[in-house]
Amino acid sequence: MTSELDIFVGNTTLIDEDVYRLWLDGYSVGDAVALRVRSGILEQTGATAAVLQSDTMDHYRTFHMLERLLHAPPKLLHQLIYQIPPSRQALLIERYYAFDEAFVREVLGKKLSKGTKKDLDDISTKTGITLKSCRRQFDNFKRVFKVVEEMRGSLVDNVQQHFLLSDRLARDYAAIVFFANNRFETGKKKLQYLSFGDFAFCAELMIQNWTLGAVGEAPTDPDSQVDDMDMDLDKEFLQDLKELKVLVADKDLLDLHKSLVCTALRGKLGVFSEMEANFKNLSRGLVNVATKLTHNKDVRDLFVDLVEKFVEPCRSDHWPLSDVRLFLNQYSASVHSLDGFRHQALWDRYMGTLRGCLLRLYHD
């Protein structure tokens, strides 16, 4: 009795990028084989269907064994079992932690808990992303959050150091972690026009300017139990923002602020008459957003409030983005000419970030 045995001996672990993508996308071996057949690989290589099936299964086994190492990327670099060139290791890690825009928009700002994980079936149906891929992406978000949530220092640097991601992907994960920690509302209907990139841009501005890490307020006592420097908004800063209320509560200051802005923008703004008529409402909206940020619910509703109080009124008056930029620049700068106002640094820290966010949120 004779038996045939196919043997392949090699040292370098072979990684087929196309099969890796199919595995990451959550396809079964059978579905992956069917998609590979449809791509014309049998005609291109002269392989048989049986060989293609065996090849796909072999790759899937390899990826399954590598997955536990991908959960802690430095382990992949330091292990000796799989001989994988550094460039391939980087590719495996980067693609494993990549995510779909449609998926992240569904979970952005939500608590990364079992409750949210129960919604993955519905998210899979809504987005067309396989449930397996949704679970991988959700578990990646949760894993990164758990690792970096107790760490001091730069959130982006911590993500990069522990997960070996590219700078861009590390910044995206920092935004996801920041939003999950502060529970910003992103799912309301009026926010659906905004992309993940819009929110990530705003997250980066807030991390740079509104957190404890932004001003280097690390505790002098090493045993002090201070919250994560880049994860949490600076509560003292949020409390101080109540001082800005005078800009709209004091009629003389409000009138002077309006006069300064109107004088500077007369003849330069296409929607000048609309701006002049609506100045006080817009100013009250922007200042009131600041003064309410001491409450967790108002922090969560930050983007809802910005859209309702500024974006929608300007959009209804057909402001072009160029006019929004001119107005916000002058609105922010004119405060420095208000003699009775004594919180210039606080104003700059608030409006510097808010101006950038509003320009990103405003799609004319």
List, for residues 231-281, the tens digit of each pLDDT value: 899 999 999 999 999 999 999 999 999 999 999 999 999 999 999 999 999
- Nearest by Cα to 339 from 252, 240, 249: 252
Torsion of CA 186, 188, 189, 194, to 10 degrees: -10
150 backbone dihedrals φ, ψ, rounded to 5°: -100, 5
Mean pLDDT value of segment 38-48: 88
- Nearest by Cα to 358 from 321, 330, 316: 321
In contact, 335 and 341? CB cutoff 8 Å? yes
User: What is the distance between the alpha carbons of residues 173 and 160, in angstroms, rounded to a whole number?
Assistant: 10
Residue 98 CB neighbour total at 10 angstroms:
15
What is the percent of the chain with per-residue pLDDT over 90, rounded to a whole number?
84
Sorting pLDDT into bands at 50, 70 and 90, what band is 30? Answer: very high
**Per-residue confidence (pLDDT) for residue 223, from 0 to 100:** 47
Q: What is the DSSP letter of 10?
A: -
> CA torsion sign, 89 to 92 to 93 to 94?
positive
- pTM of the model as a whole: 0.90
pLDDT at 346 over 50: yes
> CA torsion sign, 68 to 89 to 141 to 22?
negative
- Work out the burial of residue 272: count CB atoms within 10 Å of its CB; fewer than 13 is exposed, 13-18 middle, 19 or more buried: middle
Instruction: Work out the widest C-alpha separation in the chain, in whole angstroms.
Output: 103
